[in-house]
Amino acid sequence: MVTGLSPRQALAELTARLAKAGCPDPAFDAAWLLRLVTGRDPRLDDTPLSEEEAARLGSLARQRAARVPLQYLAGRWPFLDMELAVGPGVLIPRADTEVVCEAAADRVRERPAPRVLDLCAGTGALGLGVRSLVPAARVTLLEKSPEAFAYLRRNCAEQAARPGPAPVPVQGDVFTWQDSLPDGQLDLIVSNPPYLTGAEMAALQPEVAFEPAMALAAGADGLDFYRHIAAAYRRPLRAGGWLVLEIGWRQDEAVRALLTAAGWADVGGQPDFGGNPRVVWAKKPADENNL
C-alpha cells in the first residue's frame, strides 16, 4: 500500500492483489481490511491513507495474500448477535453453526433455567450462542486445547456482562469428562466436534489449513468423536434431555445411525443455509433410567 492513496484507490489495489493471490472473495476481504485499519467507509470518506495506515494495511494484505484467514487478521468475528475473539489456535466460528445454535435453543427455550454443556467448545460459539438465544440457560463450556481455551475464557468473560447466569469455561478432555458429571442433571448437550477424515485433512483449502488440526481431524472416517459422545454422554442428561450436534455434509446418515444404535430417541436433523446437512439431534428416552 502506498501512503497518500485515497480509500477507494487503496480498495481497488488491495482487491486486485488479493484476487491475484487466489482469495475466494477478494472484494469482501479488501473492504473488511480497509475498515479494520482506517475505520472509514470509502464511499463516504476519501481522506488519503496516512503513512501508518498504509503500512498496516500493507502488512495485513501480505498475510491475507498468503491465505492467512481474514478472521485471524481481524482478531474478532461476528456470530449471531455477538462478536467473538478469534485467532491462531482456535477454530473459526462460521455462519452455518448459527443454525446449530438455533436448533439447540429451540429444544430448551421453554425450560426454566436449562443446564447446557458445550463439548469441544473452541471459541464458545455454540454454547454462548445458545445462551444468547436463551438468556436463562446455565452454560458450561468444555475445551481441551490450551490455545483455544484462552479464547474461550476471554469470550465467556465478555459475554458474562449480558443478562443471565455467567457462562463457565472448563478445560478438559471430552473423552474423559463424562466421568466427572452427575447422572441426569443436564437439559442439553451441544457440540461441534472434529469431524474431518484423513483424506479431507489432506485436501484442506489454504485458509482452513491454518486452523488447528486438533479441532478438525477425527480419525479415518471422521466419526471418532460422535461415537464417544453417543455412547458416553446420554447418562448426564435428564430423561427427555437433548443432544444437538454439528456434522459434516456427508455424515448425516452415519451420525443418525450411530445415535439410533446407541439407544437415543427422536433422532432427526436439518440442513444449513446452503441446503447441506448440518445438524443432527437426538433425545434421551423419557422413560430411561440413568445407566
Q: Are strands 277-283 and 265-271 parallel, antiparallel or unpaired?
A: antiparallel
Confidence band for 127, pLDDT divided at 50, 70 and 90: very high
Could you give the domains of the chain?
7-66 (1.10.8.10), 77-283 (3.40.50.150)
Write out pLDDT tens, residues 168-219.
999 999 999 999 999 999 999 999 998 776 676 666 678 787 777 767 666 7
Measured CA to CA in angstroms, residue 120 lies from 97, 128, 149, 254, 289 at distances of: 13, 13, 10, 20, 27
CA Rg value for the chain? 21
Measured CA to CA in angstroms, residue 277 lies from 96, 100, 201, 252 at distances of: 10, 11, 20, 6
Is residue 274 predicted with pLDDT exceeding 80?
yes
Write out pLDDT tens, residues 34-76.
999 998 887 777 888 989 999 999 999 999 999 999 999 999 9
Is residue 226 predicted with pLDDT exceeding 70?
yes
82 forms beta bridges with: 79
The model carries a pTM of: 0.91
